[in-house]
Amino acid sequence: MSTPTLDKHSSALDAAEVTGTHLIAITLRVRRFNPEVSAEAEWVDYQIQVDPKERVLDALHKVKWEIDGSLTFRRSCAHGVCGSDAMRINGKNRLACKTLIKDVSPEKPITVEAIKGMTVLKDLVVDMDPFFQAYRDVMPFLITTGNEPTRERLQSAADRERFDDTTKCILCAACTSSCPVFWNDGQYFGPAAIVNAHRFIFDSRDEGGEQRLEILNDKDGVWRCRTTFNCTDACPRGIEVTKAIQEVKRALITRRF
Amino acid sequence: MPAGTLYRGREGMWSWVAHRVTGVLIFFFLFVHVLDTALVRVSPEDYDKVVATYKTPVVGLLEYGLVAAILFHALNGLRIIAVDYWTKGPRYQKQMFWSVMGLWILLMLGAIYPVLGHAARDLFGS
Amino acid sequence: MQFHTYDTVIVGAGGAGMRAAIEATKRSRTAVLTKLYPTRSHTGAAQGGMAAALANVEEDNWEWHTFDTIKGGDYLVDQDAAEILAKEAIDAVLDLEKMGLPFNRTPEGRIDQRRFGGHTRNHGEAAVRRSCYAADRTGHMILQTLYQNCVKEGVEFFNEFYVLDQLLTEVDGVRRSAGVVAYELATGEIHVFQAKAVIYASGGTGKFFKVTSNAHTLTGDGQAAVYRRGLPLEDMEFFQFHPTGIWRMGILLTEGARGEGGILRNKDGERFMEKYAPVMKDLASRDVVSRAIYTEIREGRGCGPEGDHVYLDLTHLPPEQLDAKLPDITEFARTYLGIEPYTDPIPIQPTAHYAMGGIPTNVQGEVLSDNTTVVPGLYAAGEVACVSVHGANRLGTNSLLDINVFGRRSGIAAADYAHASDLVPLPENPTEKVEAQIERLRNSTGDERVAELRLELQECMDANVMVFRTEQTIKTAVEKIGELRERYLNVSIQDKGRRFNTDLLEAVELGNLLDLAEVMAVSALARKESRGGHYREDFPTRDDVNFMRHTMAYREVDANGAESIRLDYKPVVQTRYQPMERKY
Amino acid sequence: MATEVSPKDAVELTSSSASYSPDNPAPLIEPPRARTRRTPRSTRTNFELYGWLFMRLSGVVLVVLVIGHLLIQLVLDGGVTKVGFAFVAGRWASPFWQYWDLAMLWLAMLHGGNGLRTIINDYAEQPNTRVWLKTILFTAVAFTIALGSLVIFTFDPNIR
Ligand SMILES: Cc1cc2nc3c(=O)[nH]c(=O)nc-3n(C[C@H](O)[C@H](O)[C@H](O)COP(=O)(O)OP(=O)(O)OC[C@H]3O[C@@H](n4cnc5c(N)ncnc54)[C@H](O)[C@@H]3O)c2cc1C
Ligand code: HEM
Ligand code: SF4
Ligand code: F3S
Ligand code: FES
C-alpha cells in the first residue's frame, strides 16, 4: 500500500523467466545536465543488462561504475529509509532504491530525471536547501512549557497513534516536488513541511501547535493545496500526506470558529 | 520550467486539471452570459436574436459542452468538499473520482435528448 | 581554499554527531561537517530499539544490563565503560523522550519495552524486556528527533562536506588536534577548519563487505583519517554479522522480529536454535546465531536450490502485531522479495553489520594515541569509536544507546575543553596531503577502475573474513588486499570536474576501505582464539590467558616510505565480573 | 555486455556553450521562482482561510442553484427552444426567481472570481503581471455583478 502503484507486469520479465536467464536488456534514459560541459540538459540512453529484481538504483550504479563515472546522483542506504534518491522515474517521483526494474515496464526505455521544481545542480542532483528551509520554517521540534517531568512525559497509546503516520517522513522531497502548486512558483511550503508540522500539531505533548497553525495560515501555507494527491501517490513511506494536510486545514478552521 | 517528461500524475492530478479548466471555461461563459442577458433590459428584440442563435445546432453542441463542464465541475467540486470535510475522504478519493465520472457519464447521456434533441430535430427535421 | 575557525568541529551528523552537537552548541561555537544531509545518516536505518533498564514493564536494573553487555561482548568489554553505558542509559532514553521522540507506549502511557537478543534478567535467567522502541523505526525516530533539536538549537551544519584529513600539531612535545581538512562536494573546494576541539562521529565502515546492512556511504572515513596520521585503531578484527539480513541483499530485518516471537527455521522447518542456545534460543547473541545459521547451511540444511540461506518465520504471528510492531521490515520483504510475511517465511542470511572496533577513546570520548595517552582536543563517539563498551560482540540495541550516551559525553567534554584552551596553530601547508591525493586521482591515467577494485575487495572479505575465519582464509585476504592496494595506485576516474564529483569521492572512499580492511585482516590474523564476532575455526575456543586484551593497530612508515601495520595490545578493564563461559 | 552510449536529442554544442569548463560552469537549471530565505513573509490575516471556506460553501449552494437553472433552461418544458424574452419576463415576475438568479449571479461570480485569483497567483510570474491581471479580474467581476443585479431589479416586462 505504501509503494507507489506499480506498472503492469512485464512481458520482458516473463521472457527472461522462460529462457532461464537472470538478466534482461534494458535502456536507461537519463536526463543529464553538467554545467561544466553545457548549459543544456540532454537525454542520454544507456543499454545495460540487469536482473529485473534489481532496483533502479542498481541500474544507475551499473552505468556509473561500468560505463560513465560522471553520472551523478545521491544515494546512501539503498533500502528506502534515508531519503537521498528521490527522482522522477518514468515520469513519477519515486526512490530509485525502492523501485524494482520489473515494476517499471523494462521493455521500454526507463526514463530517469531530477525531481521537478528545484534547481538542478548536476544530473539528478538538485538543490535541497529551499526544501529544508520550508521544513525549518514550521518549527519542527517539540515545544513545551513549564517544568520538565522527572521521568518521561506520559502519553496514551491512542494519543501516540494520532500522529504516527506523519512521524515516518524521511524528508526525501518526493511529495513536495510532485506537487503542481509547488512547481508553479516554489513559494508554497509544500506537503513535506506540512507533514512535519502535522507531526507536532497533533502530538499531545506539544504546546506550540498554535504558532505552527499560524505559520501555515500564511498565503503560501496549507490553503494553496488543491488536493491533487500527487504527494500521497509519491510518498515512499506510504504517508497519507493529503489527509495530513486536510487535518491541518480543519484544525485551522475549527480554531477560527 | 526545466524541460523533461510530463509528470505522470493519477486521478487526483488530472481531476484537478479538469476542474481548473472547467472552472475557467464556466467563468468566461458566465461573463458573456450576463452580458447577453443584460440585453433584456435594453432591447428585447436583440435578446431574442441572440437567444435564437443559441438554438442553432452548432451552439447546441457548445451548450452540451457547457453542461458537461458544469456537471463535471459541480460533481468534482462535491468530491473535493468531501475530501476536505469527511475524515475518510482522502482515502477514498480515487473511488469518489470514479463515482463522479460514472455519474457524470450517466447525466451526460441523460442530457443528450433534452439538450441536443432540438438541434437534432432542426438538423434532420421531425 | 577557505579557512574557518570554530571552537568545536564535529565530523558526522548521525546520532552520535548530532547528540554531541546539541551539547556542544549550547557551550561553544560549533560547526558540524557531514558528508550527507544529516537526516540521511545511517542511524536512520536502525530498527529494533535502544536498551535501558527503565523497568517500565517488568523488573530490571542497570546492573543486569551491565552484566549482559559484558557477557555479550565476550568479556572483552571495558567494564567501567559498560557500567557508565548501562547507568546513563536511563537518562539517555528519558532525554530523548523529552526532546520529543515518539516511543511506543504501554497501556499506562509509559515508554514500552520489548525483548532483544542477549538482554536477560538476573544474569541470564530469562529474556527481559529492555529495549525501548518506536515500531521498527527506532533509529529513524532518534535521527529525526536529534535533527529537530539541532534545528531548535540552531546548530550550524556544513552539509555535503567530506572530511578527508585530520590536522595534528606538536606543541611542547605533545601532538594536539589542530583541525580538519574537508572537501566540499558541491564546488570541489577544499576547506580548512581550525578548531580547538574535534569530535569524530563519522560512523561505521561496513562497505568493505558485499552482503552488508550498511549504507553505501559507510566507508570508514573517520577511522582512516585518524589512522593515517599515526593514531591507533582498536579491536578492528571484531565485526558483527547480524543473523537476519535479507538473502543476498543484506538489508537488515531487525532482531526485534525475533523479539516479537519470530523463529529461525532450516529447510526441514526445524527450529534449529534450540540446539545451539537452549535457554535464549532465537534470541541468543548475534555471533552465536550467525554461526548457527552458517553451521546449518554448511551441514546441508540450508534452504533454496543452492541451500545458501535459512528462513525467518513470522507466519505464526498475528498480522495486526506485524503491522503494529514490524511495519517496515514486512514492507521490505514485500518490496524487495515479493514475499508476503503474513503467510510466507522470509529467506535470510547473516549480513555484515557493525564495527565493534574503531578509534580508541576513554569514557569522556577523548582519543588515545597509545594505551593511555590522550590526544588533547581530539574526541570520537559512536560507531567510529571504540570505548570499548561492545568488546568482541555488541548486543542489539546497545549501539543506539552508545551514540546517545557517549555522543553526549564527548559533546560536553569537547566544548568544555575548547573553553579552557587556545587554538593550536595549524601545521604548515595544512591542505598539502588532501590536495595531493585529489590531484593524483583527478590526473591519474591508470587503467584500474574503482568499482572493480571495490567489488574484488568486497568479495574477498565476504569469502575470507566473514563469520568463520582460519589462518588460511585470512592470509588469502591479506594478500589480496595487498594486491588491491598496489592496483589502487593505478586507479583513474572519468569525471574530471569539480561540481558534485562523486566519482572522485568514491575513489577516495575506496582508499579508506582498503586501509581499514587491511588493518582488520592483520588484526584478525594475530588473534589466535575465538571470541565474540571473531571466530577462528583453527582456534575455536576463547583464550583468556593470551588474548584477554585489546588489539591496537598502528600504521608505520619506514624511512623508504614503505607502509606496514604494527600491532600492540591493551589490557581490558575488569571491575566486577570475572570471565565465565558464555552460554545462552 | 552492451555498453553502447547513444546521446539522444543531443544539443548542438554552440561555440559559447562549448566553452563551459570546471572553472567556467554554465548557469544552473533554476526553477521559475525559487523560495528564498526571506520568503514566505507571514501574512497574518485569515483571508486565504475565508477564501477557501467560501469556495466550499458557495460551491454547495451553487450546485442547487446552477443545476436547477440548467434544468429549467435546458431540460424542462421543451428545453432551450422555449427561452426568449417572454420566458424571462414570466420568470422574473416572481421575486423568488429574481432572488434565485441574483444569488446565483453573486455566488458564481465571486466563486469564479476567487478561483481565477488563485489561478493568477499560481501562474503569473512577475509581481507586476499579477497586479495587472488581478485588477482586470476585479473590474470584470465587479462590473458583471453590478450589471447583472441592475438588470434583475430594474427589469421591465413592458419595455417592448
Ligand atoms: C540496518 C541497521 C540497523 C541497526 N539497528 C540497530 C538497533 O536496532 N539498535 C542499535 O542499538 N543499533 C542498531 N544499529 C547500529 C547503529 O544504528 C549504528 O551503529 C549507529 O547508528 C551509528 O551511529 P553514528 O552516529 O556513529 O554513525 P552514522 O549514523 O552512520 O552517521 C555517520 C555520519 O558521519 C558522516 N560522515 C561519514 N564520513 C564523513 C566524512 N568523511 N566527512 C564528514 N562526515 C562524514 C555521515 O554523513 C553521517 O552523518 C543498526 C545498524 C544498521 C546498519
Ligand atoms: C456548480 C457548483 C460548483 C461547485 C460545487 C464548485 C466547487 C468548487 C470548489 C470546491 C472549488 C475549490 C477547488 C479547490 O480549492 O481546489 C472550486 C474552484 C473553482 N470554481 Fe467552482 N464550483 C461550482 C461552480 C462554479 C462556477 C459556476 C464557476 C464559474 C463561474 C466556478 C469556477 C471555479 C473556478 C475558476 C475555480 C478555481 C479552480 C482552481 O483553483 O483550480 N465554479 N469550485
Ligand atoms: S512526506 Fe513522504 S514523500 Fe514527503 S518528504 Fe516525507 S517521506 Fe518523502
Ligand atoms: S500534491 Fe500538492 S496540491 Fe496538495 S494534495 Fe499534495 S500538496
Ligand atoms: S538510498 Fe536511501 S532512500 Fe534510497
**Does A8 score more than 50 pLDDT?**
no
Please check whether residue C461 is in contact with residue C513, taking contact to mean a CB–CB distance below 8 angstroms.
Answer: no
Query: Is D55 within a domain?
Result: yes
Q: What DSSP assignment string belongs to C342-390?
A: TTSPEEEEEEEEEE--BEEB-TT-EEESSSS-EEEEEEE-GGGEE-SSS
Q: In what order do the strands lie in the sheet with C346-355?
A: C239-246, C346-355, C310-313, C263-265
Q: What's the pLDDT tens digit per position in C337-350?
A: 999 999 999 999 99
Q: Fold for C243-350, please state it.
A: Flavocytochrome C3; Chain A, domain 1 (3.90.700)
pLDDT of the residue at B3: 58
* C-alpha distances in Å from residue A245, one per residue of A214, B13, B18, D48: 14, 16, 22, 15
Average pLDDT over residues B60-71: 90
Contacts of C381 (CB under 8 A, 6+ apart): C16, C17, C19, C20, C199, C200, C201, C361, C365, C403, C406, C407, C409, C410, C411
Q: Is C47 annotated as a binding residue?
A: yes
Question: What residue spans of C421-467 are helical by DSSP H?
Answer: 432-443, 450-464
Domains of chain C, residue spans: 243-350, 432-571
Taking the C-alpha atoms of residue C328 and residue A79, their distance in angstroms, rounded to an integer, is: 11
**Do C432-571 and C243-350 have the same topology in CATH?**
no
Name the more confident of C206 and D87: C206
Question: Which sign does the torsion angle of CA C548, C552, C553, C558 carry?
Answer: negative
Q: What's the pLDDT tens digit per position in D91-127?
A: 888 888 889 999 999 999 999 999 999 999 988 878 8
Q: Which residues of chain C have pLDDT under 70?
A: none
Q: Is the CB of C213 under 6 A from ligand 1?
A: yes
Q: Is the CB of A229 under 6 A from ligand 4?
A: yes
- Cβ-based contacts of C40 with chain A (< 8 Å): 74, 76-77, 82-84
Q: Please report which confidence band the pLDDT of residue B63 belongs to, taking 50, 70 and 90 as the band edges.
A: confident
Answer yes or no: do D52 and A223 touch at CB < 8 A.
yes
The count of structural domains within chain D is 1
pLDDT of the residue at C34: 98
pLDDT of the residue at B47: 84
Q: Fold for B12-124, please state it.
A: 3 helical TM bundles of succinate and fumarate reductases (1.20.1300)
Q: Do residue A73 and residue A142 come from a single domain? A: no
pLDDT of the residue at C545: 94
How far does C402 lie from chain A, in Å, by closest CA? 20
* B86 interfaces chain A, CB cutoff of 8 Å: no
Neighbours of B52 (CB within 10 A): 12
Ligand nearest to the CA of A4: 3
Please count the residues of chain C. Answer: 584
Question: What residue spans of C128-192 are helical by DSSP H?
Answer: 138-153
Taking the C-alpha atoms of residue C80 and residue C389, their distance in angstroms, rounded to an integer, is: 9
Q: Do residue A203 and residue A98 come from a single domain? A: no
Q: Please report which confidence band the pLDDT of residue D5 belongs to, taking 50, 70 and 90 as the band edges.
A: very low
* D147 interfaces chain B, CB cutoff of 8 Å: yes
Name the more confident of C276 and D88: C276
Q: Prior bond to C388 cis, omega within 30?
A: yes
**Does D32 score more than 60 pLDDT?**
no
Among the candidates A91, A126, A161, a domain finishes at A126
Average pLDDT over residues A81-110: 95
Q: Prior bond to B2 cis, omega within 30?
A: no
Query: Is D15 within a domain?
Result: no
Q: Do residue A196 and residue A109 come from a single domain? A: no
Segments forming the whole domain that contains residue D52: 47-154
What percent of chain C shows pLDDT beyond 90?
Answer: 93
**Does A21 score more than 60 pLDDT?**
no
Write the class of the CATH domain C432-571.
Answer: mainly alpha
- The rounded mean pLDDT for chain D is 79
pLDDT of the residue at D18: 59
* A133 interfaces chain C, CB cutoff of 8 Å: no
Query: Is D42 within a domain?
Result: no
> Mapped to the 3 state alphabet, what secondary structure does C73-102 carry?
CCCCCCHHHHHHHHHHHHHHHHHHHHHCCC
How far does A61 lie from chain D, in Å, by closest CA? 14
Q: Do residue A141 and residue A192 come from a single domain? A: yes
For C157, the enclosing helix (H) or strand (E) is: strand C156-159
**Does A4 score more than 60 pLDDT?**
no
Chain Cα centroid distance, residue C267: 32
Taking the C-alpha atoms of residue A212 and residue A200, their distance in angstroms, rounded to an integer, is: 9
Query: Is A111 within a domain?
Result: yes
Query: Is D138 within a domain?
Result: yes
* Closest ligand 3 atom to A241 CA: 1
Q: What's the pLDDT tens digit per position in A148-165?
A: 898 999 999 999 999 999
Q: Is C553 left (phi over 0), alpha (psi -120 to 50) or beta?
A: beta
Residue C343: beta bridge partners?
A: none
Of the listed ranges C464-478, D28-42, D61-75, the one predicted with least confidence: D28-42
Query: Is A9 within a domain?
Result: no
Chain D touching partners, 3 or more CB pairs below 8 A: A, B, C
Instruction: Give the CATH number, domain containing residue A166.
Output: 1.10.1060.10
Cα angle C154-C42-A89, degrees, rounded to a multiple of 5: 100
Assign C471 to helix, strand or coil: helix
pLDDT of the residue at A16: 42
**Does A38 score more than 80 pLDDT?**
yes
Question: Which class for C306: exposed (0-12), middle (13-18), buried (19 or more C-beta within 10 A)?
Answer: exposed
> What single DSSP character describes residue A55?
B
Q: With a CB-CB cutoff of 8 Å, which residues 14-43 of chain D face chain B?
A: 29, 31-32
Please check whether residue A152 is in contact with residue A201, taking contact to mean a CB–CB distance below 8 angstroms.
Answer: no
Query: Is D41 within a domain?
Result: no
Q: Do residue A25 and residue A110 come from a single domain? A: yes
Q: Please report which confidence band the pLDDT of residue A186 belongs to, taking 50, 70 and 90 as the band edges.
A: confident
Q: What's the pLDDT tens digit per position in C141-187?
A: 999 999 999 999 999 999 999 999 999 999 999 999 999 999 999 99
Please check whether residue C521 is in contact with residue C482, taking contact to mean a CB–CB distance below 8 angstroms.
Answer: no
The count of structural domains within chain A is 2
Query: Is A36 within a domain?
Result: yes
Please check whether residue C161 is in contact with residue C184, taking contact to mean a CB–CB distance below 8 angstroms.
Answer: yes
How far does B60 lie from chain D, in Å, by closest CA? 9
In the structure grid, which three cell numbers stand for residue A231, read together?
504527494
What percent of chain B shows pLDDT beyond 70?
Answer: 92
Answer yes or no: do B67 and D67 touch at CB < 8 A.
no
Neighbours of C391 (CB within 10 A): 30
Q: Please report which confidence band the pLDDT of residue A203 belongs to, taking 50, 70 and 90 as the band edges.
A: very high
Taking the C-alpha atoms of residue D63 and residue B26, their distance in angstroms, rounded to an integer, is: 13
Taking the C-alpha atoms of residue C64 and residue C73, their distance in angstroms, rounded to an integer, is: 14
- Cβ-based contacts of C188 with chain D (< 8 Å): 22
Q: What is the chain B residue with the closest CA to A32? A: B4
> Mapped to the 3 state alphabet, what secondary structure does A204-232 carry?
CCCCCHHHHHHHHCCCCCHHHCCCCCHHH
Name the more confident of C190 and A21: C190
Q: In what order do the strands lie in the sheet with A92-95?
A: A92-95, A86-89, A110-113, A24-32, A42-50, D5-8
Answer yes or no: do D155 and B40 touch at CB < 8 A.
yes
Concerning whether C110 is annotated as a catalytic residue, the answer is no
Query: Is D109 within a domain?
Result: yes
Segments forming the whole domain that contains residue A100: 20-126
> What single DSSP character describes residue C573?
P
pLDDT of the residue at D156: 75
Taking the C-alpha atoms of residue C200 and residue D81, their distance in angstroms, rounded to an integer, is: 84
- Cβ-based contacts of A5 with chain B (< 8 Å): 10
- Cβ-based contacts of C37 with chain A (< 8 Å): 84, 128, 132, 171
Answer yes or no: do D80 and B63 touch at CB < 8 A.
yes
pLDDT of the residue at D70: 87
Taking the C-alpha atoms of residue D100 and residue C577, their distance in angstroms, rounded to an integer, is: 89
pLDDT of the residue at D40: 53
* Closest ligand 2 atom to D119 CA: 40
pLDDT of the residue at A15: 44
> Mapped to the 3 state alphabet, what secondary structure does C178-231 carry?
EEEEEEECCCCCEEEEEEEEEEECCCCCHHHCCCECCCCCCCCHHHHHHHHCCC
**Does D22 score more than 90 pLDDT?**
no
Taking the C-alpha atoms of residue C278 and residue C259, their distance in angstroms, rounded to an integer, is: 16
Taking the C-alpha atoms of residue C21 and residue C33, their distance in angstroms, rounded to an integer, is: 11
In the structure grid, which three cell numbers stand for residue A211, read together?
504558532
> What single DSSP character describes residue C427?
P
Query: Is D94 within a domain?
Result: yes
Q: In what order do the strands lie in the sheet with C549-557?
A: C233-234, C549-557, C563-571
Query: Is A5 within a domain?
Result: no
Ligand nearest to the CA of D119: 2
Among the candidates A80, A109, A126, a domain finishes at A126
**Does D45 score more than 90 pLDDT?**
no
